[in-house]
Amino acid sequence: MPNSSPVVAAALSRGVAIWSEVEFAARFLQNRWLAITGTNGKTTTTELAGQILRDAGRPVEVAGNVGRALANLPGAIEPGAVVVAELSSFQLEHIERFRPDVAVLLNLTEDHIDRHGSYTGYVAAKLRIFENQAPGDLALVNGDDPGVAAAVAAGLPGRGRRGTFSLSPATPCSGAAGEAGAGSLLAGVTGGVLWAQTAAGREELCPLAALALKGEHNVANSLAAAAAAAALGVSASDIAATLQTFPGVVHRLQVVGVVDGVTWVNDSKATNVDAALKALTAYSGPVYMILGGSLKGASFDPLAMGTEGRVKQAILIGAAAGALRTAFERRRAAVGERATPFVALPDLEAAVAHAAAAAAPGDVVLLSPACASFDRYRNFEHRGEHFAALVERLGQRR
Task: State the DSSP string of 108-153.
Answer: --S--HHHHSSHHHHHHHHHGGGTT--TTSEEEEETT-HHHHHHHH
Q: What is the mean pLDDT of the chain?
A: 93
Of the pLDDT bands very low, low, confident and very high (cuts 50, 70, 90), residue 179 is very low
Residues 86-106: what's their mean pLDDT? Answer: 97
- Give the pLDDT score at 176: 43
**The CATH number, out of the four listed (3.40.630.40, 3.30.360.10, 3.90.190.20, 3.40.190.290), of the domain defined by the range 254-397:** 3.90.190.20
The residues facing 289 across adjacent strands are: 314, 366
Residues 159-178: what's their mean pLDDT? Answer: 72
Per residue in 81-94, pLDDT (tens digit) is: 999 999 999 999 99
Q: Using alpha carbons, list the distances in angstroms from residue 191 to 172, 276, 371.
A: 20, 28, 37
> Is 230's pLDDT higher than 70?
yes
> Is 182's pLDDT higher than 70?
no
Query: Which range (112-121, 170-179, 186-195) has the least confidence?
Result: 170-179
Residues 301-329: what's their mean pLDDT? Answer: 97
Catalytic positions, please? 42, 65, 112
> Is 398's pLDDT higher than 80?
no
CATH superfamily of domain region 6-243: Mur-like, catalytic domain (3.40.1190.10)
Domain ranges of the chain: 6-243, 254-397
**Which residues in 366-376 are b (16+ Cβ under 10 Å) and which e?**
bbbbbbbbbbb
> Is 217's pLDDT higher than 80?
yes
> Is 116's pLDDT higher than 80?
yes
Of the pLDDT bands very low, low, confident and very high (cuts 50, 70, 90), residue 12 is very high
User: Cα separation of 62 and 42, whole Å?
Assistant: 12
Of the pLDDT bands very low, low, confident and very high (cuts 50, 70, 90), residue 214 is confident
Per residue in 338-377, pLDDT (tens digit) is: 999 999 999 999 999 999 999 999 999 999 999 999 999 9
